Structure 1
Amino acid sequence: MKIERIEAIPYSIPYARALKFASGEVTSAAHVLVRIYTDTGICGIADTPPRPYTYGETQDSIVSVVTKVFAPQLIGLDPLDRSKVQQLLRRTVNNPTAKGALDIALWDAIGISLGTPVHKLLGGFTDSMRVSHMLGFKPAAELLEEALRFRETYGINTFKLKTGRRPLSLDVEACNVLREGLGEDTEIYLDANRGWTANEAMEVLRRTEGLGLSMLEEPCDAGEAMGRRRLVQSSSIPIVGDESVPTLGDVSRELLSGGSNAICIKTARSGFTEAKQILGLCEGLGVDVTMGNQIDTQVGSLATVTFGAAFEASSRRAGELSNYLDMTDDLLTEPLEINGGAILVRDVPGVGARIDADKLQKYRQDQA
């Protein structure tokens, strides 16, 4: 089996409402669908979310690097030669989500060719992941209303609160209102998206002590090295690296320097191959991981479920899997379902993402 052709299709699907957070705002899923075709007729699929304010990638840059740089290097290779593929991708710096999509699409093609679900090829630990729902910038009462609605409708009982606002009292109030309204048995954790300084983050932790918050993700810029280390040393809850740790080398740096003591894994930026290496490093060091979300479509969320459910360590915590519910439409022929607060893996060869051709045609942006 050889790689014969690679497509990168830009498309855009509006969100029903914008998700706002400290590093930006998303109003539509302006993503890129990557498809790898083999000479056996198999097609591997993955989705790519451009995040210019996080990784410097845009829709145009992803299409360009996939079709003009990576495709000429990968065409003719056997998809099973994963190490060779990784070596070729590493020769081009940055572009993490473009590389991640190519890797996931290759794993999908491999799974289809072997007639085996990718979650079993990776590890096959369990058949589902619990779901965490992200709450964006809103007044505290509206955040509580949304959380209660998602708990009642989908059985979700873990919530990630987007923070990093000023004044700090907005986020502190939201923490108090959510804890009081949701009760002690609901997990709540924070993500500041580098919106505070390290000192501000320490103040928020001081003012929310006793609320039972489980984690604080990316409280400040990792470049604020001394303050970040001081925060990690003083915090009673894990400080999670996310934007600061897109690669295996970045994870090593942050953990060894003391800038984080937990890691967020996102398959959208690492694919399955590097995500597995990151997970192994964290397991060896005794560091907790979370499965994060790039405000993914259902295609991207399915990839996260596939990887997260494959390993015991990545399935311990609820994964961020529900924000596709804010989209007005999606590309999957069989939509994901959240039942009892969890999403099942697809027990079919590959990852299981089957694309609705009519919907792709409707939303693609590369045709007049």
Structure 2
Amino acid sequence: MRITKIRATPVAVPYRTDETWAFGSRSGMVSVLVELDTDEGIVGLGEAAAYPSAEIVLSVLKSVERLVVGADPFRIEQLIQRIDVVGTWHHVKATSPAIAAVEAACWDIVGKACGQPLVNLFGGRFRDSVEFFYYVAAPDPDTVKAEGTRATAAGFTTCYLKVGSDSLDIDIERVAALRDGIGPHMNIRIDANEAWTAGTALRAVRAMLPYGLELVEQPVSGRNLQQLAYVRGRMDVPMLANEACWTRYDQLSVIHNGAADVLSVDNQMDGGLLNLKRSAGLCAAAGMTVLKHSLGELGVALAAATHVIAATPNFRHANQAYGALLSDDIVDGFGGGVDNYRDGCLDVPTGPGIGVALDPDRVARYARLYREHGDTEFSFQHPRALTTGLALPKH
């Protein structure tokens, strides 16, 4: 079997509510759907987050086309090695999501050719469903509380809240509002996205302790592992590394520096599903648990990662997904809004390969939306964050 063509379709799916964080805000998600045609008629599906933009993802796909077309999709290790070495991506360190989308599409082809879901190709089911958190993206306390109530009603067990605002008092008020909205038993995970200094991080976490925190994600820079380890050693809440550990090489450094309790791993930033499994294995060898980070993904990429998570023991925490924000999806019955989650979990697809199919009408609708607005409408906009109370920290 040989790959005969790469087809790429950028799509833009609006959010039901804006996503706001310490340095920006966006009103929807852009992804690039990737389809690999083969000479035997099997089509593999993949999906790339538009990181840092759809235009760059499309350019990367064009640049690797000469290495992908003509390749045997069963020889996944060989193909990715060619992209890394001949395509020189080895020197980029954090790979483009475009490459991860090609790799996932190859796995989809293999699964379809074998008549097996991906979970069976990655070790078999360790669990039948995968847990995800509820993303509370609202900036003001009243809406935060309402979103927490919505998360509870939908059966989620973990809420994820962005912090790192210009005022520590605002962050504390929002965490308190979330606890008020979800009650005493749900987990609260906060993420500062590197916005704090070490002193501010320690002061913030101490102030938030009465509200019960599950994990504190990347409170300080991920580029200074000594500082991260310093903060970790002085906090009474487990530290989750994210920006510090987007690739296996970074994860190894975090482990060596004792800079985190839990590591966030990401197949789109580290070249594919096989590397997601490798990342988890690396952390398991160090006695550490992991969870999946997301750059923003629709049903294809979400389903692909769900297979790997389900086959890997040390994914012990709720993973990142965008169900709380998305108004729709481009596949049926998987991902999308919270109605497709059961108690915060997604069942592992049972069909061959990734196990989801594109909805042609919705793909066409959201491809048209992308053509009309491009990345501009749905990429992070810093000024919008300033108007909602989230801004660059003064500390």
After TM superposition, the score normalised by the length of structure 2 is: 0.85
In 2: Cα distance, 1:156 partner to 1:16 partner: 18
Q: CA deviation at 1:110?
A: 1.0
Q: 1:255-296 CA distances to partner (integer Å, 9 max, x unpaired)?
A: 212333321122333321111111000000011211222232
> Given the superposition, is the C-alpha separation of residues 237 and 288 from structure 1 closer, same or farther in structure 2, using an over 3 Å criterion?
farther
1:28 and 1:180 map into 2 onto residues whose CA distance is: 28
Q: How far apart in 2 are the matches of 1:363 and 1:138?
A: 27
The 5-angstrom pairing of residues 309-320 of structure 1 reads 309-314=310-315, 316-320=316-320
Partner residue, 2:67:
73
Q: Distance in 2 between matches of 1:276 and 1:346?
A: 18
Tell me, yes or no, if structure 1 residue 177 matches structure 2 residue 198. Answer: no
Shift of 1:143: 0.9
Task: Please give the alpha-carbon distance, in whole angstroms, between the structure 2 residues aligned to 1:18 and 1:251.
Answer: 31
Aligned residue type for 1:358: D
Equivalent position of 2:160 in the other structure: 160
Deviation (angstroms), 1:27 = 1.5
Q: Quote the offset at 1:325 in angstroms.
A: 4.5
Aligned: 1:230 with 2:214: no
SS at match of 2:146: helix
Q: CA deviation at 1:367?
A: 7.0
Q: In the alignment, residue 339 of structure 1 is paired with which amino acid?
A: R
CA contact (8 A) 1:267 1:303 kept: no
Offset from partner CA, 1:112-160 (integer Å, 9 cap, x none)? 11100001211221221123111124222211211111221x2112111
CA distance in 2, matches of 1:95, 1:292: 15
The whole-number CA distance in structure 1 between the counterparts of 2:354 and 2:158 is: 25
Is it true that 1:348 corresponds to 2:346 in the alignment?
no
Report the Cα distance in structure 1 between the residues aligned to 2:22 and 2:138, rounded to whole angstroms.
8
Deviation at residue 34 of structure 1 after TM alignment: 1.1
Give the distance between the partners of 2:221 and 2:12, measured in 1 at CA.
30
Contact 1:306 1:351 in 2 (8 A): yes
- What residue is the counterpart of 1:255 in the other structure? 255
C-alpha RMSD over aligned residues: 2.0
Q: Does 1:126 align with 2:120?
A: no
Partner secondary structure for residue 31 of structure 1: strand
**Cα offset for 1:231?**
0.3
Cα separation, 2, equivalents of 1:293 and 1:148 = 24
Tell me the distance in 2 between the aligned counterparts of 1:185 and 1:247.
33
Letter paired with 2:298: T
Instruction: Give 3-state SS (helix, strand or coil) of 1:77's partner.
Output: coil
List runs of 5+ in structure 1 lacking aligned partners.
52-56
Query: Deviation per CA, 1:65-110, whole angstroms, max 9, x where unpaired?
Result: 112x212112222222122122123232244311221111111111
Tell me how many residue pairs correspond in the alignment.
359
2:299: which partner in 1?
Answer: 298
| More relative contact order, 1 or 2 (CA 8 Å, 6+ apart) | 2
Q: How does 1:16-165 map to 2 (within 5 A)?
A: 16-51=16-51, 57-67=52-62, 69-90=63-84, 91-92=88-89, 93=92, 94-123=94-123, 124-152=125-153, 154-165=154-165
Structure 2 residue runs without a partner (length 5+) = 373-395
CA distance in 1, matches of 2:366, 2:209: 46
Distance 1:296 1:16 in 2: 15
Q: What is residue 54 of structure 1 aligned with on the other side?
A: none
Classify the secondary structure of the residue corresponding to 1:286: coil
Deviates more, 1:81-90 or 1:273-282: 81-90
Counterpart contact for 1:32–1:48, Cα < 8 Å: yes
Deviation at residue 335 of structure 1 after TM alignment: 4.1
Tell me whether 209-218 or 348-357 shows the greater mean CA deviation.
209-218
Q: Which amino acid aligns with 1:74?
A: V
Alignment of 1:258-269 (within 5 A): 258-269=258-269
Moved more, 4-13 or 282-291: 4-13
Residue deviations 1:151-208 (CA, integer Å, cap 9, x gap):
21x2112111111112111111222232344233211111111121222111111112
Task: Find the residue that maps to 2:264 and give its secondary structure.
Answer: strand
Give the C-alpha shift of residue 219 in structure 1. 1.0
Percent identity between the two aligned chains: 26
Give the structure-1-normalised TM-score: 0.91
CA distance in 2, matches of 1:345, 1:225: 35
